[in-house]
Structure 1
Amino acid sequence: MTTAGGFHGAGVVLPLSGDEPPVTIERVPAREAAERELSRPMYHENDPSLLQRALDRFWEWVGDLFDAAAGATPGGAVGVVVLVLVVLLLLGALWWRLGTPHRAPSSSAPVFDDRPRSAAEHRAAAEAHAADQQWSQALQERMRAVVRSLEERALLDPRPGRTADEAASEAARSLPSHEAGLHTAARDFDDVTYGGRSADERAYRRIADLDRDIERTQPVLAPSPGAAE
């Protein structure tokens, strides 16, 4: 049976005006023709953009996740909010306790990276930086003053390329009472110079005090090879 605008067998019947017989279009070609018609830009001018569709999918996923968490958490949505607040408070406490994370020193590099200067010149440069509250530069120059002073006193052999940690280890042999201070100063120097940290006044004063104490300390000289005999 054929009705106007209805189906006729496996095709689509299109009524025509007048006495012309209806035209029957097979189902598949009819669907393809409809798809071609609907794909025309005029039908999609108000469609959401790709970004908007992606954002809609994301918020749908967040909503589903929140609903799932609310269903599994005692107290429902209120419980989820309380849990999130507790996590944020814990993260804030850790941040306050540990401070801003800093990059660890990637490698050790030589203490001196420019023309040779005396210990007095390094100290003067350090004090000039400290007067301007440039604590990182002041700490670096004061560490260089410590190492240069040890070289001038023949407690360290002058050697290009020596790192701060190497200088601290070698100097501690003749200045054992300052071993801890020397290693702390070397670590502060590496953190500031190669680790991206910023020094403060306290760190600078600590290494300046170490410099003055080392100047007043008599070294422990290693016994000569024939001393035991």
Structure 2
Amino acid sequence: MTTGGKITALAGLIARSDDGIPVGISRDAAREAAERELSDPRYHQHDPNLLQRALDWLWDRIGELFNEASGATPGGWAGLIAIAVFVLLLIVALRLRLGAVRRTPTTRGTLFTDTPRTAAEHRAAADRHATAGHWNEAIQDRMRAIVLALEERALLTPGPGRTADEAAAEAGLVLPASAGQLRTAARTFDDVAYGGRPGTERAYALLVDLDTELQRAKPQLAATPTRSRG
């Protein structure tokens, strides 16, 4: 019974004597007396608190929403559950089909992020990672070895803040025969280091071949203008 109902019922009792005979008290006065009586804390010690009342209201609204949805869905609750299961299976199938969501890099990070090392040191680290099957790390160290080797041969000017793309573009100017492979290597480095893509044995093997080829490559010298004969 609601509080208003309790007050009305109690007011009716107060307005009568013990033997059931009405007493000379107005209805308003009886109501005030009933309100005073019901304000006693002992009548409210089992009432739900504010949080419980809010949760009860929320669950009532959710129940109404689901009841309306089940009524509008063919098959009632069974149809609603079937649709929910179908949507869940569709999400799982799409996830398996597309694989993990890959983060597309918005900016390219620098090529070197740790303490300076030589090309030979990066090359050795790359080989160790490859032996362990850690292709991401192997690709990154092999790309750093490629760039450092070109710097050590004075084919590239050392640039600590240089990106893989920048290094590939600069190296392609002095080694045009390898420009395409250098761009591919830089793209592979960025995909692995910043794009969230897993490295592969094949991708690493291509960088190893490029590294070996560049160690034997000769830079292309700028052509000197010929003098015209008079």
Query: After superposition, where does 1:104-143 map in structure 2 within 5 Å?
Result: 104-105=104-105, 107-143=107-143
Q: Give the TM-score of the pair, scaled to structure 2.
A: 0.69
User: Are the aligned partners of 1:168 and 1:182 in contact in 2 as well (CA < 8 Å)?
Assistant: yes
| Structure 2 counterpart of 1:13 | 15
SS at match of 2:15: strand
- Letter matched to residue 92 of structure 1: V
| Structure 2 counterpart of 1:80 | 80
Structure with greater helix percent: 2
Taking a change above 3 Å as real, the CA distance of residues 72 and 22 of structure 1, as seen in their structure-2 partners, is closer
- Letter matched to residue 124 of structure 1: A
- Letter matched to residue 165 of structure 2: D
Separation in 2, partners of 1:78, 1:29: 53
Taking a change above 3 Å as real, the CA distance of residues 59 and 209 of structure 1, as seen in their structure-2 partners, is farther
Report the identity percentage: 43
User: Are the aligned partners of 1:139 and 1:204 in contact in 2 as well (CA < 8 Å)?
Assistant: yes
Structure with greater strand percent: 1
Q: What do you get for the CA RMSD once the two structures are aligned?
A: 3.8
Gaps of 5+ in 2: 1-9
Query: After superposition, where does 1:147-166 map in structure 2 within 5 Å?
Result: 147-166=147-166
- 1:143 Cα shift? 1.2
* Number of corresponding residues: 215
| Structure 1 counterpart of 2:4 | none
Taking a change above 3 Å as real, the CA distance of residues 176 and 167 of structure 1, as seen in their structure-2 partners, is same
Separation in 1, partners of 2:202, 2:34: 80
User: Are the aligned partners of 1:73 and 1:79 in contact in 2 as well (CA < 8 Å)?
Assistant: yes
Q: Give the TM-score of the pair, scaled to structure 1.
A: 0.69
Gaps of 5+ in 1: none
Taking a change above 3 Å as real, the CA distance of residues 119 and 6 of structure 1, as seen in their structure-2 partners, is closer
| Structure 2 counterpart of 1:97 | 97
Residues 22-50 of structure 1: CA deviation (Å, up to 9, x unaligned): 66662552353254236755333xx4883
| Structure 1 counterpart of 2:225 | 226
